[in-house]
Amino acid sequence: MRAGDGSRDGARLRTIAVLVAGQVLGGVSAGATISLGALLASDVTGDEALSGLASTFLTLGAAIAAVPLSRLAVRSGRRIALASGVLVSAIGAAATIGAVAVSSAVLLFVSFLLVGVGSAVGLQARFAATDLSGPSSRARDLAVVVWATTIGAVLGPNLVGPGAIVGGAFGLPDRTGPFLFSIASGLLAAIVYLVGLRPDPLLESRRRGTSRVVVGGAEEKPSASRRRFAVFAVTASHAVMVAVMAMTPVQLHHHGNADAVVGFTLSLHIAGMYALSPVFGWLADRSGRIVVVLGGQATLAAALVVAALGAHDTAAVSVGLVLLGLGWSASTIAGSALVTESTARVDRPRTQGRSDLFMNLGGAAAGALAGVVLSQFGYAGLALTALAVVVAVVVAAALTARSGRPEATIASAQGSVDRP
C-alpha cells in the first residue's frame, strides 16, 4: 500500500457512511410525498387529470435546484450544498400542510417545487460518493449511496397510516400527517451533512489535485459522445419511470384500492429502485457502463409490457412497478458513473448538475403528460407510449458503441492510477 492510501480510503469510507445516513433520512421524506402527491393534487384541484402535476412540480423542483446546488458545491463544498437542499425540502413539506389546509392549488404546487429540492439533494449525494473514488470502485460507491435510500423510501410510504394518526392528533387536514415526518427527517439530514462531511469530499478531492486515470497503459480521456449518451440514457430512463409511477396511485384507486394498499405498492416499487443498487454498481464496474444501461432498458421494457397487459390487476401492476424500479436503478447507476468518468475532473460538478437538470426536466415533462395520456388512453396506453422511449435509448446505445472507442472495463483497468 502506498503512503497516503490508508488515509485516502478512510476519508472515502467516512464520506460514504455520512451520505448513507443522509439518504436514509431523505428517503423518508421522498417516500411520503411520492405516495400522496397525486392524491393531494386531485383533492385540492378537484380535477383528476391534474393529478400528474404533483409529480411534475416535484421533479421540476429538483430540476430547478440541480444547477444551483452544483454551483454551491463548487463554491462551498458538498456539505453546505446538501444541507441547504434538505432544509429547503423541509420547508416545502411544512408549506404542503398549509396549502391543503387553505385548499390553495397554487400554494400546493409551489410547495411541491420546494419538496422536490430534496430529490436534487439525493441525486447530488450519489455524485458526492464518487469525489474520492477510483475507477475500479466508482460505480459501486455511487450505488451504495443510492441503495441507502431504500430504507427511508420504503419506510416513507408505509408511514401513511401512522401519519394519519399523528396528523389527526394535531388536527391536520387529511393525508398531510406524513409530512410531519418529512419535516423532522429533513432537519435531521441537514445536521448529519453539516456535522459529518468533514473533510468535505469535493474540497478534499480538489486539494489532492487533478486525477490522471491510466487504463491499459494509456491515459483515459473524456468522451463527449459517451457523455451525451449517458445524460440521455439517465434522462430517458427517469422519464419512463416517473410517467408510469406517478399515475399508478390513480390507477389503483380506480379499482377500489385503499390508501394503505397504494402505499404498500409504491414501497415495493421504491424497493426495486434502490435495493439491488450495489449489484448494478458491481456489474457496471466489472462489465462496463453501457452494457448495464442496456440491461436496464430490457428490464424497463419488461415492466411496461407487464403493466400494459395487467393494467386491471393489482398484483400485475405491482410486479410491473418492481421491474420498473429495477430497470431505472440499473440505467441510472451505470449512466451516472458514465457521466462522471467521461468528464474531466475539473468540470464534473457542473456536468453532474446539468445531467440532473435534464433528468428532472424529463421527469417533469413525463409527469405532466402522463395524466393526459392516462385520461385518454388508459394505464395500458401510458405503458406502451413509454416503451417508445426505451427503444430510443437502445438505438442511441448502438450508435454510441459504433462511433466511439470500445468501453474500458475494470478488468482492463486493474493497476490503474487514480490520485483524487
Spans of all domains in the chain: 8-203+221-405
As separate numbers, helices (DSSP H) first and strands (DSSP E) second, the chain gives 14, 2
First and final C-alpha spacing in the chain: 16
pLDDT exceeds cutoff 70 at 221: no
Nearest Cα to Cα of residue 389 among 328, 326, 323:
328
Nearest Cα to Cα of residue 65 among 363, 353, 362:
353
CB 263 within 8 A of CB 339: no
Total Cβ atoms within 10 A of residue 142 = 31
The CATH architecture annotation of domain 8-203+221-405 reads Up-down Bundle (1.20)
For residues 334-353, give the mean pLDDT.
Answer: 90
- pLDDT of 266 reads 75
- pLDDT of 5 reads 55
Q: Which tops the pLDDT comparison, 61 or 408?
A: 61
Q: Which tops the pLDDT comparison, 344 or 306?
A: 306
pLDDT exceeds cutoff 50 at 374: yes
Which residues neighbour 113 within 8 Å (Cβ) at sequence distance 6 or greater?
57, 58, 60, 61, 64, 92
Residue 258 confidence class, pLDDT cut points 50, 70, 90: low
- pLDDT of 253 reads 63
- Residue appearing with cell numbers 419511470: 241
Cell of 271: 424497493
HSE of 182, CA atoms in CB hemisphere, 13 A: 39
pLDDT exceeds cutoff 50 at 407: no
- pLDDT of 257 reads 58
- pLDDT of 408 reads 42
For residues 408-417, give the mean pLDDT.
Answer: 38
Q: Which tops the pLDDT comparison, 260 or 41?
A: 41
Nearest Cα to Cα of residue 320 among 368, 386, 365:
386
pLDDT exceeds cutoff 90 at 295: yes
For residues 185-192, give the mean pLDDT.
Answer: 94
Distance CA 274, CA 235 (A): 17
- pLDDT of 187 reads 93
Q: Containing H/E element for 247?
A: helix 224-254
In angstroms, the Cα distances linking 346 to 107, 210, 399 are 39, 7, 28
CB 240 within 8 A of CB 383: no
pLDDT exceeds cutoff 90 at 69: yes
pLDDT exceeds cutoff 70 at 55: yes
For residues 87-107, give the mean pLDDT.
Answer: 93
Which residues neighbour 290 within 8 Å (Cβ) at sequence distance 6 or greater?
226, 229, 334, 338, 397, 400, 401, 407
Residue 84 confidence class, pLDDT cut points 50, 70, 90: very high
Lowest-pLDDT range of 254-258, 305-309, 363-367, 397-401: 254-258
- pLDDT of 413 reads 39
Cell of 13: 469510507
HSE of 142, CA atoms in CB hemisphere, 13 A: 33
- pLDDT of 278 reads 93
Q: Which tops the pLDDT comparison, 212 or 396?
A: 396
- pLDDT of 28 reads 74
For the chain, give the mean pLDDT.
83
Residue 215 confidence class, pLDDT cut points 50, 70, 90: very low
- pLDDT of 6 reads 57
For residues 255-276, give the mean pLDDT.
Answer: 72
For residues 158-179, give the mean pLDDT.
Answer: 83
Lowest-pLDDT range of 73-87, 245-259, 304-318: 245-259
Nearest Cα to Cα of residue 20 among 132, 114, 128, 149:
149
- pLDDT of 216 reads 33
pLDDT exceeds cutoff 90 at 110: yes
- pLDDT of 267 reads 74
Residue 218 confidence class, pLDDT cut points 50, 70, 90: very low
CB 356 within 8 A of CB 63: yes
Per-residue pLDDT reduced to its tens digit, 305-338: 998 898 788 788 888 999 999 999 999 999 999 9
